[in-house]
Amino acid sequence: MHSIAINNGLCYINGEFVRASIGVDGSRITRISKIELKGDVVFDASDMIVIPAFFNAHTHAAMTLLRGIAEDMELNSWLRNVWRLERKIEPEDVYWGTMLAIIEMMKSGIACFSDLYIHMDEVARAVGESGMRAVLCYGMADRGDEERGRREIEIGKRFIERWNGSFDGRISAIFGPHAPYTCTPEFLRTVKRKAVEMGVKIHIHVSETKWEVEEVERKYGSSPIRLLSDIGFLDGDVVIAHGVWLDDHELGILKESGASVVYNPVSNLKLVSGIPRVGEMIELGINVALGTDGTASNNSYNFFEEMKFASLLQKIRYNRADSVKASQILDMATCNGYKAYGLNGGLLEEGSLADIAILSKSPQFYPVYNPLYSIVYSANGEEVQQLIVNGEIVMEDRVILTLDEEKVVRKVEKLKEKFTS
Ligand SMILES: [Zn+2]
């Protein structure tokens, strides 16, 4: 008897859709079987599709608060606007903004997100209450000020000590220096040393725009990736968001280092940052995960939309329809995210974390020649019916069981007044 049994679904196992039943106990998948399983809770999935839930590997969840307020701007003017508005954000606002993000993410089949932002205790609180899984870090920068740098690291460190491993292991807390153009090399060296001491990963924005690469070259005489490599910052415990502007040599450095890259296609398009060389990264064996970035630059947390953009952009980048295949896109959206952050999940296999999405077949799935293509190219998210995170059912028939959706939406709409005044 399992705590949850998902019976006879068309399950994505080892890169194929096969008919199987899945048993869940505690936080893990404990059985994959050809025969029906018994459970305290049983889902008949005979007409459903079962996939590992998605991992949104780079976001600033509470930026839902600023969604739609700074539009049609390129990154630098967008950032100036956003940074001005962010000064008005108070801790509790971050809680509500994150809750709204979590609603959207759960409805899109996302079980885990990696967040870099401010007032992170409130993000952790929202994650804890909602049943979501998350990798969290305080977004810090010294901006050339040594004293500020010391304070920032102290906040980042305290956040990790307080939350890492909390809520039955649903929260991983790591370091999040903002970017090489807002953090000095000395600061980044200290962050790296602390991260190694504490045994935690690092999440950082790198080479998102051409401007940023030129700025770092002007300041330090080296491109961001070369700089990070030279100061001993890059290794398999680092996750780089974006990596849009990389030359051949930098791709080689990344591969050697074992660092992961998060591809954020919609945000890169919207802020006209560019199209990263994902096809080549995959060929080189670099682990590439998928992210939405914050909703102020996206503007949604719809991972089906993100997968489709991820695929189409690479086709155009290389002028080749098979430059990145649908199965590689689905891996980016699932197991590659877990792998980037050192979590054993994103796969339907025994021992894997029980983060599972059960999908119905919407009209746009038919005829179902291969569910893989329906999921990557034609689904819109309404298909996600049940979501299991860490072995707990958090959404059933698209109703989130762990929070009050109405209340969250009302609260966020009310907060609008603060940012427009
Ligand atoms: Zn970002």
Say if residue 208 is in the same domain as residue 322.
yes
CA of 60 to the centre of ligand 1 (A): 6
Give the mean model confidence (pLDDT) for residues 120-142: 98
The pocket of ion ligand 1, defined by CB under 5 A, consists of 293
CA of 205 to the centre of ligand 1 (A): 6
CA of 103 to the centre of ligand 1 (A): 20
Q: What is the per-residue pLDDT across 52-80, written as a single tens digit (0 to 9) for each?
A: 999 999 999 999 999 999 898 877 888 88
Say if residue 163 is in the same domain as residue 308.
yes
CA of 33 to the centre of ligand 1 (A): 40
CA of 294 to the centre of ligand 1 (A): 6
Say if residue 365 is in the same domain as residue 315.
no
Q: What is the per-residue pLDDT across 30-43, written as a single tens digit (0 to 9) for each?
A: 999 999 999 999 99
Residue 327 lies in a domain: yes
Say if residue 190 is in the same domain as residue 231.
yes
Looking up residue 383, the CATH number of its domain turns out to be: 2.30.40.10
Given 314, 340, 366, the domain boundary residue is 340
Packing angle between helix 91-107 and helix 120-130, nearest 10 degrees?
40
Say if residue 293 is in the same domain as residue 188.
yes
CA of 241 to the centre of ligand 1 (A): 7
Q: Is the pLDDT of residue 129 over 90?
A: yes
Residue 407 lies in a domain: no
pLDDT > 70: percent of the chain: 100
Q: What distance lies between CA 65 and its chain's CA centroid?
A: 18
Q: 129 vs 81, which has greater pLDDT? A: 129
Q: Around Cβ 11, how many Cβ atoms within 10 Å?
A: 25
Say if residue 91 is in the same domain as residue 207.
yes
Give the mean model confidence (pLDDT) for residues 331-356: 98
Given 340, 361, 390, the domain boundary residue is 340
The pLDDT of residue 63 is 94
Which string of b and e fits 252-276 if b means at least 16 CB within 10 Å? ebbbebebbbbbbbbbbebbebbeb
Sign of the CA dihedral running 397, 400, 406, 411: negative
Say if residue 115 is in the same domain as residue 230.
yes
Number of domains in the chain: 2
The pLDDT of residue 331 is 98
Give the mean model confidence (pLDDT) for residues 97-113: 98
Alpha carbon distances (Å) from 1 to 23, 314, 357, 393, 401: 9, 45, 21, 17, 24
Distance between CA atoms of 323 and 367, rounded to whole angstroms?
25
CA of 201 to the centre of ligand 1 (A): 17
Residue 34 lies in a domain: yes
Say if residue 119 is in the same domain as residue 72.
yes
Residue 167 lies in a domain: yes
Say if residue 300 is in the same domain as residue 389.
no
Residue 406 lies in a domain: no
CA of 242 to the centre of ligand 1 (A): 8
Give the mean model confidence (pLDDT) for residues 329-335: 98
Q: What is the per-residue pLDDT across 242-260, written as a single tens digit (0 to 9) for each?
A: 999 999 999 999 999 999 9
Say if residue 188 is in the same domain as residue 249.
yes
Looking up residue 157, the CATH number of its domain turns out to be: 3.20.20.140
| Closest of 12, 19, 101, 9 to residue 331, by C-alpha | 12
Q: Give the range of the structural domain holding residue 164, as residue numbers without chain letter.
A: 54-340
CA of 34 to the centre of ligand 1 (A): 42
Residue 421 lies in a domain: no
Say if residue 67 is in the same domain as residue 171.
yes
Contacts (Cβ under 8 Å, ≥6 apart) of 120: 94, 136, 137, 138, 159, 163
Residue 79 lies in a domain: yes
The pLDDT of residue 75 is 76
Choice among 103-112, 115-124, 151-160, 412-421 with the minimum mean pLDDT: 412-421
Say if residue 116 is in the same domain as residue 143.
yes
Residue 385 lies in a domain: yes
> Is the distance from CB of 247 to CB of 254 less than 8 angstroms?
no
